[in-house]
Amino acid sequence: MKFEHKPVMLHECIEGLNINPDGIYVDGTMGGAGHSIEILKRLSNKGMLIGIDRDAEALEAAKTRLSEYKNVKYIHDNHDNIKEILNSLKIDKVDGILLDLGVSSYQLDERNRGFSYLGENELDMRMDKSQELTAKRVVNYYQEKELANLIYEYGEERYSRQIARNICNYRKEKTINTTKELVEIIEKSIPKSKQNDGHPAKRTFQAIRIEVNNEIKPLYQTVKDCIDCLKPQGRLCIITFHSLEDRAVKNAYIEAKGKCTCPSDLPYCVCGAKTLGKIINKKPIVATKEEQEENSRSKSAKLRIFEKI
């Protein structure tokens, strides 16, 4: 299957990175290289792009698409490990980093990946197919309370307890192997009158995917690590698709910006507040109305930009 992924807020990201033609840039979620190729178009031969993705298939697709470019390094790893990755490449600091969080169109559409609630596929949902934890294991082995909590927290699903209870009742009789089985359990758990806000399984599938790929827990520290890896005037652009992601990014930016705690009547700062840089956009940038109409994935996207001092 061809790896296709329409980059969200492409123009806004490229503008936000404020690209130096001779600089070093990191695309921490390379995917189908939609953002990467536009970064490379703006780099000279002295510039370099480091493309990171935990999905090996995505990296192979990116290599094909970017075959004419020689100033690219492809890294099969998780952007959470950015410090270790740059250290292994003997690179101290970079000029810009881009993270486009969430799942790609290819991963949703590829049947054997199990991300989609449409059709009948194996319960997998791993972005990195070499890892052990799968959606099948989460659904069949997590305790009822644990399932209910993650579906509520990561999926913001109001019927999380009923869904978790029915999952546990179902698996007493047989193992839940496919996405279709899980969808049927979810549909029976939500009153028909309440199934009018998109597909009833959407929120639960999102929650399980986030759990399988550990997308939220390390994010706050990852943002701090990315800022630490920037050169002065280097930019960090992060696109989020979930309120918990956006909150983690926002809070990490605020901490990095620093805040003076001195009384307002003091003529100068004595609290020793330190700042690592500035937040470029106080409010998150969202996709234009035109883009939201063309690409439904962009509707929940938020872009936040930070500049190192």
Characterise 253 by phi-psi region: left (phi > 0), alpha (psi -120 to 50), beta (else): alpha
**What stretches of 155-263 adopt beta strand conformation (E)?**
230-240
Domains of the chain, first to last: 10-102+218-308 (3.40.50.150), 106-213 (1.10.150.170)
- Band of residue 1 on the pLDDT scale cut at 50, 70, 90: very low
Q: How far is 110 from 1, CA to CA, in rounded Å? A: 7
Helix axes 34-41, 10-17, angle to 10 degrees: 40
26-46 confidence digits (pLDDT tens): 999 998 899 999 999 999 999
Indicate the DSSP class of residue 102: S
pLDDT digits (tens, 9 = 90+) for 132-187: 999 999 999 999 999 999 999 999 999 999 999 999 999 999 999 999 999 999 99
Instruction: Give residue 16's pLDDT.
Output: 98
**Secondary structure class of 296 (helix, strand, coil):** helix
Residue 293 has pLDDT above 70, yes or no: yes
Give the other-Cβ count within 10 Å of 108's Cβ: 16
Query: What residues are paired with 186 via a beta bridge?
Result: none
Question: Residue 198 gets which letter from DSSP?
Answer: S
- pTM for the model: 0.92
What is the Rg, in whole angstroms, of the alpha carbon atoms belonging to the chain?
A: 21
pLDDT-based confidence at 262, cuts 50/70/90?
Answer: confident
Helical (H) or strand (E) element with 303: strand 302-308
For residues 75-104, give the mean pLDDT: 95
Element (H, E) at 138: helix 135-141
CA–CA separation, 281 and 286 (whole Å): 11
Average pLDDT of the residues of the chain: 93
pLDDT, tens digit, 9 for 90 and up, residues 198-233: 899 999 999 999 999 999 999 999 999 999 999 999
Distance CA 277, CA 142 (A): 42
In the predicted structure, residue 289 carries a pLDDT above the cut 70: yes
Q: Which residues contact 74 (CB under 8 A, 6 or more apart)?
A: 30, 51, 59, 62, 63
Query: Measuring CA to CA, which residue among 13, 1, 119, 120 is closest to residue 61?
Result: 1
CA distance linking residue 174 with residue 140, whole number of Å? 9
* 8 Å CB contact between 303 and 269: no
